[in-house]
Amino acid sequence: MRGMERLADLITRHARDGRLDRIGLRPERLAAPVAVDAADVLERGLTGDHARPGKRAVTLIQAEHLAVIGAYLGRGPVAPEVLRRNLVVSGLNLSALKGRRIAIGGAVLRLTTVCAPCSRMEAALGPGGYSAMRGHGGWCAEVLIPGRIAIGDAVRPLSEE
């Protein structure tokens, strides 16, 4: 059809790059997350984090979803450390990047799977916390190219070519 764009072209287009707003390290399972200004991303995940190597090495959530989760709970935005994701990014729809490569600082990640909420979210957020996070829990990613990341870095979708 003339004048109509192909869906494949629309899927690859983004209005702008996103931004890395927060880096959180979880030193060990169930330990309180520690916010840092910069971190090294290795194939197994962030240095200082108890990450799971492979397709779940790094977890990401959109800053915009913190307010959505809070609204479902009848309050203001949820503090990112409560959700325990490694990276909080803003300005870019992570769901639109499923399976795609993104560059953050010197690292390249591939978004692999939804980071579903766990049952601990009910205790952390109160009654309804688990359901409030469904569809808003963020994404897991594998590390394709290790590198250094820092608060303020652009989050850029990369071409698959």
**Domain limits, the chain:** 7-157
> How many distinct helices (H) and strands (E) make up the chain?
5, 11
Closest among 10, 22, 6 to 152, alpha carbons compared: 22
Q: Tell me how far apart the alpha carbons of residues 10 and 22 are, in angstroms, rounded to a whole number.
A: 29
pTM of the predicted model as reported, rounded to 2 decimal places: 0.90
Chain segment 102-118, per-residue pLDDT in tens: 999 999 999 999 998 88
Residue ranges of the chain with per-residue pLDDT less than 70: 1-3, 8, 11, 161
The β-bridge partners of 93 are none
Which CATH code, of 1.20.1250.20, 2.40.33.20, 2.40.30.10, 3.40.50.300, is assigned to 7-157?
2.40.33.20
> For position 63, what pLDDT does the model report?
97
User: If DSSP codes are grouped into helix, strand and coil, which group holds residue 62?
Assistant: strand
> For position 16, what pLDDT does the model report?
78
> For position 161, what pLDDT does the model report?
62
> For position 6, what pLDDT does the model report?
81
> For position 2, what pLDDT does the model report?
56
